[in-house]
Amino acid sequence: MLICNVVGARPNFIKMAPVVLELKRLGFDQLLVHTGQHYDKYMSEVFFSDLSMPRPDIHLEIGSASHAKQTASIMSAFEDVCLQRRPDLIIVAGDVNSTLAVALVAAKLLIPLAHVEAGLRSFDKTMPEEVNRIVTDHVSDLLFATEMSAINNLCHEGISDSQVFFVGNCMVDSLVKHVEKAIVQSPWLQFGKREKAYALLTLHRPSNVDNEEILASLIETMNSVSEDVPILFPAHPRTRERLKRLKTKSMNRIELIDPQPYLTFLGLMARAKCVLTDSGGIQEETTALGVPCLTLREATERPSTVEEGSNRLVGTDRAKVFDAIADVLNDRWVLGKVPQLWDGQAANRIAKVLANWWGARSSR
């Protein structure tokens, strides 16, 4: 069986590394394709070395464009790869445009498709990722879920439960494997910070950064927060671009830094007093680390992080952010527990499902 694993953007690398490494350990034939959706050194290359991931066999070098152009370019280039290499199974992860594009190609060429992190729903179709998640799930043959809400969502959407597997969280596999090494490197010292005495901020959702008024108001709120706790802000390239256009340039005690490599960022998260973010994956990583997470969005597709873990949805409302920060600084935050099967063994479970699936298919 030839398995084709496809990655394209930062969160894909973290989720797929454990799968690729486990399948390699078990001796499966694999082809690793990078679409090139993320291409800057600190958005892509450093993740391969930090995660000890093999280099891609094929790089499509698609780069940035509008959603339609980017998705179409990936589809066109990836179709050629499939026609030449004829994989028996394609694996994609998460909800980025690369995931959607590859899923559509697999469906059209009738190549079985496995989706890692299936079934998550924010129920907000203005998020590009929500559309990507829904379409990918509905053309997938094997769906690997990280939490019970995902299984319920897939069941409500009529997907047969024989295709859905509750395997745990591959992002947490990477975290479990690397967190000690990340902390030993004490990355906070590079930025002159003390453990548990800084907040970490990330912002990149179009809904938060593409509208100047919303971004300006968020920065103003963060400026006020930084009076109580200094903020480290590794800014995504799109955010940095938008920040340049803002009229107010004041950043109080917010330190704007480049996007960080996986290990550095993991170490910074692990020893932060709290994390403020609009990312999906970071909500999960902070829950796994037991670090308070203030999510600057109105909804989450990862409800277990709120119901069980250390995450709270604060949206972009100033008062809610301040209340939450007061709880963090006065140690009133409930850190919760780590959700079921977020134990570092998800890739192992996925490999077992794939071996059984292939066994059943070949004996037909």
Which of 24, 141, 237, 327 forms a contact with ligand UD1 (CB under 6 A)? 237
Q: Is 264 exposed, middle or buried (0-12, 13-18, 19+ CB in 10 A)?
A: buried
Which of 77, 96, 105, 199 forms a contact with ligand UD1 (CB under 6 A)? 96
Q: How far is CA 125 from the centre of its chain?
A: 18
Q: Does 299 bind ligand UD1 (CB under 6 A)?
A: no
Burial 265-282 (b: 16+ CB within 10 A, else e): bbbbbbbbbbbbbbbbbb
204 is catalytic: yes
**Minimal distance in Å, beta carbon 266 to ligand UD1?**
15
Residue listed under structure tokens 């004041």: 250
Q: Which residues contact 38 (CB under 8 A, 6 or more apart)?
A: 8, 9, 10, 44
Which of 30, 35, 73, 97 forms a contact with ligand UD1 (CB under 6 A)? 97
- Which of 226, 260 has the CB closer to ligand UD1? 260
Among the listed residues 38, 115, 178, 204, the single catalytic one is 204
- Which of 201, 354 has the CB closer to ligand UD1? 201
- Which of 258, 343 has the CB closer to ligand UD1? 258
Q: Which of residues 18-57 bind ligand UD1 (CB under 6 A)?
A: 37-40, 43
The DSSP element (H or E) to which 293 belongs, if any, is strand 293-295
**Minimal distance in Å, beta carbon 261 to ligand UD1?**
13
What are the Cα distances from residue 275, in Å, to 118, 222, 258, 311? 25, 12, 17, 9
What tokens does 4 get?
């084709």
Q: Does 297 bind ligand UD1 (CB under 6 A)?
A: no
**Applying CB under 6 A, which residues contact ligand UD1?**
9-11, 37-40, 43, 64, 95-97, 128-129, 204, 236-238, 279
